[in-house]
A and B are shown apart, each in its own frame.
Chain A
Amino acid sequence: GESVGLHLPTLSVQEGDNSIINCAYSNSASDYFIWYKQESGKGPQFIIDIRSNMDKRQGQRVTVLLNKTVKHLSLQIAATQPGDSAVYFCAENPLGGSQGNLIFGKGTKLSVKP
C-alpha cells in the first residue's frame, strides 16, 4: 500500500555538523514531496519541497535529494544549529499535488548538542 517511512527515528548531532535525515516512500505515482519541521507545541512548518522531475533542490542551509530509482528522499541540513532541534517529517502527495492529501512519514527527532 501507500506509505512513507523514515529510516531513523532519532538523530543526535553536534552543533555545526551536517545532518542527514532519510525517508523511503513506496508510491511510485507520487510526484511531489515535502519536508516539514515540527517543534514542540507547534504545527508542522514547511522547510522545502521537491517535484519528481528534479533530483535535488537547495534552500537556505537545507538540501533535499530525491532518488526515484530506489524511492528515497533525504534532507540535508548544513551547519546544524540548536534551533534545528525538532521532529522532521517527510510527506508525499500521491496525486501530484492535485488534492490536499499528504501521506506523512513517522518522523525523525533531531537533537543538536551544543
Chain B
Amino acid sequence: KAGVTQTPRYLIKTRGQQVTLSCSPISGHRSVSWYQQTPGQGLQFLFEYFSETQRNKGNFPGRFSGRQFSNSRSEMNVSTLELGDSALYLCASSPTDRVYGYTFGSGTRLTVV
C-alpha cells in the first residue's frame, strides 16, 4: 500500500516567486493536513481539508493557501515567497475526518534564496 506522496522532494525558489506543492494521500484517505516544520518554530499546522473543504486553518498569512481535489489529492501554494518560508512542508492524510490514523509524507524541502 503506497504511503503519502509529496512532490517535489526539494525545491529552490527566489524571494518574491510563488510555489505549488503537491500531496497525494494514501488511497482511500479523505482528509489531508499540511504542516510547516522549521528549526525555530517546529511543526506548525497550516490547514486541513476534508472532502474538498477547508475545515481548519492555522495562524499563517494569506500568502499560504491550499485546495483539495475530488480524488483527495491536495496542493498548497505560497505566493510572494519570503526567506522565512524556507522550511520542510509536510502533508498528512487520514482515512476519516479525524486525526486517528494520521500518516505523514516525507515532505517537500523548500529553500527560498
Chain A interfacial positions (CB closer than 8 Å to B): 32, 34, 36, 41-46, 49, 89, 91, 93, 97-107
Instruction: Determine whether the beta carbon of A42 is less than 8 Å from that of B106.
Output: yes
Size bin of chain B's contact surface: 20 to 34
Interface contacts (Cβ under 8 Å), in number, total 70
- 14 CB-based A-B contacts, threshold 8 Å: A32-B99, A36-B104, A42-B107, A43-B92, A43-B104, A44-B43, A45-B104, A99-B55, A100-B48, A100-B50, A100-B94, A101-B48, A102-B35, A104-B43
Which B positions have Cβ atoms within 8 angstroms of A? 4, 31-33, 35, 42-45, 48, 50, 55-56, 58, 90, 92, 94, 97-100, 102-107
B109 — nearest CB in chain A belongs to which residue? A41
Contact B43 A99, beta carbon cutoff 8 Å: no
Chain A residues contacting B55 (CB-CB under 8 Å) are 99-100
Majority secondary structure of chain A interface residues (helix, strand, loop or mixed): loop
